[in-house]
Amino acid sequence: MVDSFKGLADFTYTVNSVTHTASTTPGPGDDWGTPTQGATLQDPSSCGCSNIVHYNTGGTFVKLSGGVSGCGILLVEGDLEMSGNFSWNGIVISTGSITLTGGGNKNLTGALIAGGSADADVVGGNSNIVYCSSAINNQTQNRALRVLTWKEEM
For 82-93, how does the pLDDT look when each residue is reduced to its tens digit (9 = 90+)? Answer: 888 889 999 999
Closest to 66 (Cα-Cα) out of 47, 87, 86: 86
Residue 26 lies in a domain: no
Residue 151 lies in a domain: no
Residue 41 lies in a domain: no
Q: Is the dihedral of CA 18, 20, 25, 30 positive or negative?
A: positive
The model's confidence at residue 9, banded by pLDDT at 50, 70 and 90, is: very high
Beta bridge partners of 82: 64, 100
Q: Whole-angstrom Cα distance, residue 98 to residue 117?
A: 9
**133 against 10, higher pLDDT:** 10
Supply the range of the domain harboring residue 129: 2-20+48-140
Q: Check residue 134 and give its pLDDT.
A: 86
Residue 94 lies in a domain: yes
Q: What angle do CA 109, 114, 119 make, to 5 degrees?
A: 95
Instruction: Calculate what percentage of the chain has a pLDDT beyond 90.
Output: 49
Residue 130 near residue 112, CB atoms below 8 Å: no
Residue 37 lies in a domain: no
- Count of structural domains, the chain: 1
Residue 33 lies in a domain: no
Residue 112 lies in a domain: yes
Which helix (H) or strand (E) segment holds residue 29: the answer is: none
Half-sphere exposure of 105 (CA within 13 A, CB side): 12
Report pTM. 0.86
Residue 108 lies in a domain: yes
